[in-house]
Amino acid sequence: MISTRPADRPCACHYCGLPVVGGSADEPRFCCSGCRFASAITAAGGADAQARWMMTRLGIAIFFSMNVMVFTFLLWSQPEGEAAGGTAAAAALYGLARHASLLFSAPVLLLLGGPLAENAVGEVRRGRLTLDLLLVIGVAAAFGLSAYATWLGEGHVYFEVACMVLLAVTLGRWLEAQGKLQTTAALRDLESLLPDRVRLLTPSGECEVALADVGVGDRLRLLPGEHVPTDAVIRSGTAAIDERTVTGESEPAVKGAGDSLHSGTTNLDGELVVDVVAAPGAGTLERLIEAVSTAVETSGSRRLADRVAAWFLPLVLVVAVATAAVHWWRSGAAAGVLAGLAVVVVSCPCALGLATPLALWAAIGRAMRRHVLVRDGDAFERLARAGWICFDKTGTLTTGCRLERMSATEPDEALAMAAGLARGSTHLASAAIAAAAGEQGLAAIDLEDVRSIPGCGMEGRWSVREVTVRLGSPRWILAACGTDQTWPRCAESIAGTDETAAPCSCLLAVGDQVVAGFWLAEEVRPVAAAAVAGLQARGAEAMLLSGDQAARVAAVAMRFDLPWRAGLMPADKLAAIAELRGSRGVVMVGDGINDAPALASADVGVALGCGADVSRWSADVCLLDDDLGNLPWLVDLARATSRTIRWNLLWAFGYNAACIPLAATGLVHPAVAAAAMVASSLFVVGTSLRLANDESPTTEPHATAGAAAASQGVELVA
């Protein structure tokens, strides 16, 4: 249903979850009468009797309509001119058929017309004019004219029009609602992770309350197997927490007192007492769901469809009334009503309104099932036509480092000093150095004022000797210490990696004296090669953009057969992206935190390691489980989505543009118009459903992941 006030506050349909305009919190709103109807049929919990009744109501209406159909066929078989002059028995039979049609169509009018009229009147009360109103008026007019003709005993009857239109509209909308329900299923699956009721601990004991009644600061008890209802901090107890839904992390995290919990995660094995830190509705999972919902709302093609829909309804109203008036004037009341009704029935605002959001919902839901979170609906469109896919190296194509070799006059002291700097950073090289120190049982030397210099390294103050200590890229260290230093002999290559002639990965300097060099081995992400190859096979050009040293970047790039640029500062990455951006757009794949500016400036930013807090994400797409293998699949999905949206819009515009004028000529029987409208809606729902369920846009990264990993192993870059 299209509202005449599209600027109203959006909320979700009570049944299918699609956005509805102009909702209020105190009453459930539905996006169409189909959802209202379907919701009544499937309403659970206490409303079972009513659900039964709605179903029986539909069934009885179908039964009566079928009867009306038979009588109508009988009437239509009546040879012209024979009604008056035929046998008395024939005349009596035709009279009987007309009265029987009246008798059988009246219940249909009440059973199916009732809810439709209720819907239309409700919308009128809210100040919105809908096509349902015209539909109800048209059907009532067709019925009234026919009843009058039956009473007079002459003239045509159109009982079948009333029945067929009501039946087709109701059935069509019901099926449509089912389709919509399926496309938004993924999001509801997420919502279902939040429990309805929680155990509240109060000074007087424990009681069960509705989640909505919980506030910040309340204390809850969580049993093993239960979902975390909202963001909270553990007060007491220890448990393994499955955070897959929120962070994509497949290994459960063990959490104890003081650790924070995200809503939607699962307490696997311990009993916990937690303090609520976010009001229900403001937790991590809810913010995630909201981010996804907004993705559909803000889509450009969605806004286009909304703009069109805003003038579509008035247009149909005018055409329908004009058609009715012209045909009434030329061929009588019945022809006018039928033609006007045909225009209303054949027009399909649903197709227009649903063309984009349904496809986007389907695609976003599908992506979410693979732990790919899309925050911007338009990202699909841009991803579909992107020409360049740029990768960051560290943390994206490679997963981590380990210390392969170091060279120093005082190795233990140098490593302990390096660890003192490294523990202040999350950079992979730092992590490797800190880990190596830990493995050798060395305690990190305490340093003061440790800070990170973006793109360069770490520096701090060693109070014992009152000097500045630096750990970082040789370029930076040598510049800071004076370029005449040759220690250590960086050009020296490690046996077996002669083609790279790799210099050491990073240097440690105490004061202006370089004291140690570290060679780090980089591990390549297992499915990265398959992902890059998959993207190249799809016609996209890939490039490696890294802030790291040229030799190390070159070594990784060679493994993937990629062009590369090294030594890029964050601003250089932006420049590189701007340079590559042609007509087809650039996708940047990188670390969610470190590459934030590049991710935000690219046409589509795809982030790994996004973390749980959705509000801090700078990328349009987030690979929650850091699986690069999903990238080619995502490009396929984006292309399929973009294609589906185009087809849906083309269909919706084409169908309405072709059928409304045709119906206005008076040549289309309203029952046929109803069938066409149902077919049109189902076409749009069907293509989107195929997008939601079809497994065709898939790739095989997971099948080849093992082989790729085995062939690559550990990459030595130092």
Partner 1 sequence: MIEWPLILGSGMLGAAHCLGMCGPFALAVGAASPTWRANLWRQGWYSAGRVFTYAVLGSTAAFGGRWLTGRLGPWANIPALLALVAGGFLVVQGLLAAGVLPRKGVGGIAACPGAAAFKALLGGRATSDVFLAGLFTGLLPCGLLYGMLALAASTGSVLAGLATMVIFGLGTVPAMIAAGLGGSVLGVATRQRIHAVAAWCLVLTGVVSLARGAGGLSWGSEPAPGCPFCGPEPIQAGP
- The residues binding partner 1 (CB under 8 A) are 41, 52, 55-56, 59-60, 62-63, 66-67, 69-70, 72-74, 76-80, 82, 87, 89-90, 93, 156, 158, 174-175, 178-179, 669
Closest distance of CB 40 from partner 1, Å? 12
Nearer to partner 1, 48 or 410 (CB): 48
Closest distance of CB 587 from partner 1, Å? 36
Closest distance of CB 51 from partner 1, Å? 9
Write out the H or E segment, with its range, that includes residue 399: strand 398-408
Write out the H or E segment, with its range, that includes residue 512: none
How crowded is residue 300: how many other Cβ atoms within 10 Å of its Cβ? 12
Nearer to partner 1, 87 or 615 (CB): 87
Nearer to partner 1, 79 or 582 (CB): 79
**CA angle 584-586-590, nearest 5°?**
160
Nearer to partner 1, 158 or 564 (CB): 158
The token duo for 655 is 């169908």
List CB contacts of 52: < 8 A, sequence separation 6 or more: none
List CB contacts of 205: < 8 A, sequence separation 6 or more: none
DSSP string over 562-585: --EE-S--HHHHHHHHHHH--SS-
**DSSP label of 423:** T
First and final C-alpha spacing in the chain: 63
* CA 468 remoteness from chain centre: 49
How crowded is residue 2: how many other Cβ atoms within 10 Å of its Cβ? 22
Q: Are strands 586-591 and 266-267 parallel, antiparallel or unpaired?
A: unpaired
Nearer to partner 1, 197 or 330 (CB): 330
Please report, as a single letter, which amino acid is at residue 152: L
Nearer to partner 1, 106 or 279 (CB): 106
Closest distance of CB 691 from partner 1, Å? 16
Closest distance of CB 64 from partner 1, Å? 11
Which of 322, 115, 248 lies closest to 625 in space, CA to CA? 248
Closest distance of CB 131 from partner 1, Å? 23
Nearer to partner 1, 158 or 391 (CB): 158
Q: In the beta sheet, which residues pair with residue 545? A: 565
Rounded distance between C-alpha atoms, residue 178 and residue 114, angstroms: 21
Rounded distance between C-alpha atoms, residue 679 and residue 169, angstroms: 11
List CB contacts of 553: < 8 A, sequence separation 6 or more: 393, 544, 546, 564, 565, 566, 567
Rounded distance between C-alpha atoms, residue 453 and residue 575, angstroms: 20
Closest distance of CB 79 from partner 1, Å? 5
Closest distance of CB 337 from partner 1, Å? 12
Options 231, 242, 392, 548, the catalytic residue: 392
Rounded distance between C-alpha atoms, residue 356 and residue 645, angstroms: 5
Nearer to partner 1, 62 or 322 (CB): 62
Nearer to partner 1, 70 or 675 (CB): 70
> Is 392 annotated as catalytic?
yes
For the chain, what is the largest distance between any 2 Cα atoms, rounded to a whole number of angstroms?
124
The token duo for 365 is 């839901």
Write out the H or E segment, with its range, that includes residue 206: strand 205-210
DSSP string over 53-85: HHHHHHHHHHHHHHHHHHHHHHHHTSPTTHHHH
Q: In the beta sheet, which residues pair with residue 408? A: 516
How crowded is residue 82: how many other Cβ atoms within 10 Å of its Cβ? 12
Closest distance of CB 38 from partner 1, Å? 9
Catalytic residues: 392
